[in-house]
Each structure stands twice: as structure tokens, then as C-alpha cells.
């Protein structure tokens, strides 16, 4: 058979050359090198920029640590930087404030956000999801000042009247409003990843006789855990870095409340301290440098949190048995 074809005439010709010409080969090699160099440059610039920011903050913070050391900042809760005779720079209360408000926000926002994401992706009809999703994404764009005004004008009086708290601007209020603000971000990112799990896996689970709840809990969420954790990290970063809102909602009392878990008392965060005090300090004063030290603590803190979640994430990934 094949002989017959050969004898009838030549096979179809390869009209395009299969080998590169030396010139084209060299050009391709050069283009690859140049592209790689350009990418490296951009990547390097970004790393340099991050380092520069870090360096700048650290440089302005160093005079503070030189003069006061680390001990006071890490052990004392007294933050009286402007005191004329004996200024005090204890950051413990500020750290406590940041942590309590962030943790409080996450406790509220994470279950709510993931629940909403699941509802959107798996429970409501597709058309509803298509309408609601953009609206939620729009919510993520509301400026934090708006939330702050809501916290002061609506939520604070409400808490005073309904819960009988003496003050409405407190850690609970800040946590709640931060949660409100972070939830759309969490919903949006988590929903994307839950949606991306795809019909095939859901079908596989249903075909084993699983109910919807079992499918969601045992298959969909574990399969989407990367995106879900990314959503939580994003929400957390939004919460811990938020300034304007906590400055308005948290009351800014520089204290560690008497039972430390009492969220109904006012607290002050690291961010609020920097933002609130930077404008009016005399440049170059100890107070000025101390604010950079606070910023440095915040930076180290969020970096540490990021690394921690990254670690947890890889652990979760391993236990889920995705890629060995």
C-alpha cells in the first residue's frame, strides 16, 4: 500500500523549513536573553522598592531605638510621647490594639465571608450570582472613611443604647466595621476560587451519594483552600493595615483593658497612632522617630503574619494531599 503511494509520486512537501537559519537562531537567543533581562530588571526594581521602603522606615526608626532601646517599647503599655519632662514609649497597648481589632474582625469576617462565597457559588441560582457578585465587588471599593462615619454615627450610639456599653467606640465596634469592610474582599476572592473548583469535582462527590453540605465541606472547600486562605490573608492585611477606620471607630484609648479579652473597651492600634500623631510632631524629635519605630513594628508584624499564614497554607496543602 505504502509502496503504491510512493510510486505514484512524491509525498506532500514541507514548504516551511524545519530548522532555524543561524541568524534567526541568534536573534531568538538574543530576544530570549533580553526578555529575561527585562523581566529580571522589573522584578529587581520591585524588590529594591520594597527594600527601600523598609530601609527608609528603619533609618528613621533607628534613632529612637538608639536612644530608648527595645525594652521599654516591648514591655510597657504607657505611650506618652509628648510628655515634656519624662516621655514614655511603651508600645504594648498599641500592639494589643492592632492584634485584638484584627483578630476580632477576622473572627467575624472569615466565617461570614466564606459562607457568603459558598452561598453565591453553590446555592443561589447562577443568574443571581451574576448579579450579586459585581455588587459585592463594588462594596469592596467603598472608602474606609465611609465605614468610619458609619461606626461613629450609627454603630457607636447603637452599641451604647442596645448593649448598654458606656462607650460605643471600642474594639468591638472597630472589629465589626473592619469585618464589614474586609468581608467583600474575602467573599470575592474566596468565591472565585470556590467557583473555579469546577463542576467535575462536585459531580464526582454527588455521584458518591454526598449531600450538598458534604460536598461543600469535604470536597469543594478543601479543593479551594488555596484561594480561601489567600482570601483570608487579604482580608487580614486589609484589617491590620487599615488606619482611618480604626482611628475613628476604636476610641484610641491607649490601654490594655482589664480583662484582656474585653472587647467593649477602647483600644488604640499601631496604624492609628502613626496616622494620628505624625502630622503635628516636630520633625526630628524623639516622638517623630518613635512613630517610625511604631511603623517598623507594624511592618514586621504584618510580615510575620504573612509568613505564618504562608506556612499554615503549605501545611494545609500537604495535609489535603494535593501535590506531594
Partner 1 sequence: MITRGLAVTLAAAFVVLGVTAYWAQAQTTRPSMPPAAAASAPAPKAAPMDKAALQIDGSTTVGPIAVEFVEAFKKLHPDVTITCKQTGSGDGAAALIDGRCQIATMSRFMKPEEFKSAVEKGEMPVAHAIAMDGVCMIVHPSNPVKALTIAQVHDIYTGKIANWKELGGMDAPIVVVSRDTSSGTYETFTHFVMGKDKLFDKVEYVNANPQAHARVSTTAGAIGYVGLGFVDTKVKALPIDGVMPSRKTVQAGTYPMTRPLFLFTNGYPKLGSVEHAFCTFYLTEQGQKIIEAKGFVPVTSY
Partner 2 sequence: MIEVNEMPQRKVLAAGTAAKTTDVKMANYVPQAAGPEQQLPAIIRADRFSLYYGSHAGVKDITFDIYPRAVTAIIGPSGCGKSTFLRSINRMNDLIPNTRAEGTLCVNDVNVYDRRINLANLRQQVGMVFQKPNPFPKTIYANVAYGPRLQGVHGRALDEQVEQCLRHAALWEEVKDYLDRSALGLSGGQQQRLCLARALATQPNVLLMDEPCSALDPIATAKIEELIISLKDEYTIVIVTHNMQQAARISDRTAFFCLGELIEYDQTKVIFTNPVRKQTEEYVTGRFG
- In the complex, the residues that contact partner 1 under the rule CB under 8 A are 42-43, 45-50, 52-53, 77-78, 80-85, 93, 152-153, 156-157, 160, 166-169, 230, 247-248, 251-255, 265-266, 268, 276-285, 287
Contact between 164 and partner 2 by CB under 8 A: the answer reads: no
**Which residues, listed in sequence order, are joined to residue 86 by a DSSP beta bridge?**
none
* Partner that binds at residue 321, options partner 1, partner 2, none, CB closer than 5 to 8 Å by kind: partner 2
Spell out the alpha helix ranges (H) of the chain.
Answer: 2-8, 22-68, 71-75, 92-118, 126-139, 144-150, 156-162, 171-195, 199-207, 212-215, 221-223, 225-241, 244-249, 270-278, 286-320
Q: What does the block give as the cell for 130? A: 451574576
Question: Dihedral of the CA atoms 263, 264, 266, 268 (nearest 10)?
Answer: 20
**Which residues, listed in sequence order, are joined to residue 267 by a DSSP beta bridge?**
251
* Partner that binds at residue 206, options partner 1, partner 2, none, CB closer than 5 to 8 Å by kind: partner 2
Comparison of 31 and 45: residue with beta carbon closer to partner 1: 45
Phi/psi zone of residue 105: left (φ > 0), alpha (ψ -120 to 50 degrees), beta? alpha
CA distances for 23 relative to 15, 18, 20, 88, 275, angstroms: 20, 14, 8, 71, 59
Question: How near is the Cβ of 141 to partner 2 at its closest, in Å?
Answer: 28
Say whether 66 sits in a helix, a strand or coil: helix
Question: How near is the Cβ of 307 to partner 2 at its closest, in Å?
Answer: 25
Question: How near is the Cβ of 175 to partner 1 at its closest, in Å?
Answer: 16
Cβ neighbours, 10 Å, residue 296: 20
* Partner that binds at residue 153, options partner 1, partner 2, none, CB closer than 5 to 8 Å by kind: partner 1
* Partner that binds at residue 235, options partner 2, partner 1, none, CB closer than 5 to 8 Å by kind: none
Q: Which position among 7, 16, 84, 199 is part of the footprint of partner 2 (CB under 8 A)?
A: 199
Q: Which position among 208, 300, 303, 308 is part of the footprint of partner 2 (CB under 8 A)?
A: 208
Contact between 202 and partner 2 by CB under 8 A: the answer reads: yes
- Contact positions toward partner 2, by CB under 8 A? 125-127, 199-211, 214, 218-219, 222-223, 320-324
Amino acid at each position: 500500500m505504502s509502496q503504491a503511494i510512493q510510486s505514484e509520486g512524491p509525498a506532500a512537501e514541507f514548504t516551511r523549513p524545519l530548522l532555524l537559519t543561524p541568524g534567526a537562531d541568534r536573534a531568538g537567543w538574543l530576544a530570549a536573553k533580553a526578555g529575561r533581562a527585562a523581566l529580571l530588571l522589573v522584578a529587581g526594581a520591585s524588590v529594591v522598592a520594597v527594600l527601600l521602603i523598609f530601609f527608609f522606615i528603619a533609618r528613621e526608626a533607628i534613632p529612637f531605638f538608639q536612644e530608648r532601646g527595645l525594652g521599654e517599647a516591648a514591655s510597657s503599655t504607657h505611650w506618652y510621647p509628648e510628655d515634656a519632662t519624662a516621655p514614655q514609649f511603651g508600645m504594648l497597648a498599641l500592639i494589643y490594639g492592632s492584634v485584638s481589632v484584627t483578630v476580632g474582625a477576622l473572627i467575624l469576617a472569615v466565617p461570614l465571608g466564606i459562607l457568603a462565597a459558598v452561598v453565591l457559588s453553590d446555592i443561589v441560582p447562577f443568574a443571581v450570582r451574576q448579579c450579586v457578585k459585581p455588587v459585592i465587588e463594588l462594596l469592596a471599593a467603598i472608602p474606609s472613611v465611609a465605614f468610619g462615619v458609619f461606626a461613629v454615627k450609627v454603630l457607636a450610639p447603637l452599641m451604647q443604647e442596645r448593649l448598654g456599653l458606656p462607650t460605643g467606640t471600642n474594639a468591638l465596634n472597630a472589629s465589626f466595621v473592619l469585618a464589614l469592610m474586609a468581608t467583600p474582599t474575602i467573599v470575592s476572592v474566596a468565591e472565585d476560587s470556590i467557583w473555579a473548583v469546577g463542576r467535575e469535582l462536585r459531580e464526582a462527590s454527588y455521584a458518591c451519594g454526598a449531600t450538598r453540605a458534604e460536598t461543600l465541606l469535604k470536597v469543594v472547600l478543601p479543593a479551594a483552600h488555596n484561594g480561601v486562605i489567600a482570601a483570608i490573608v487579604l482580608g487580614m492585611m486589609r484589617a491590620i493595615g487599615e488606619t482611618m477606620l480604626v482611628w475613628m471607630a476604636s476610641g484610641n484609648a491607649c490601654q490594655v483593658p482589664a480583662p484582656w479579652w474585653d472587647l467593649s473597651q477602647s483600644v488604640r492600634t499601631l496604624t492609628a497612632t502613626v496616622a494620628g500623631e505624625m502630622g503635628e510632631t516636630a520633625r526630628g524629635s524623639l516622638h517623630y522617630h518613635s512613630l517610625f519605630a511604631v511603623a517598623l513594628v507594624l511592618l514586621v508584624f504584618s510580615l510575620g503574619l504573612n509568613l505564618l499564614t504562608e506556612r499554615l497554607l503549605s501545611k494545609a496543602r500537604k495535609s489535603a494531599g494535593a501535590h506531594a
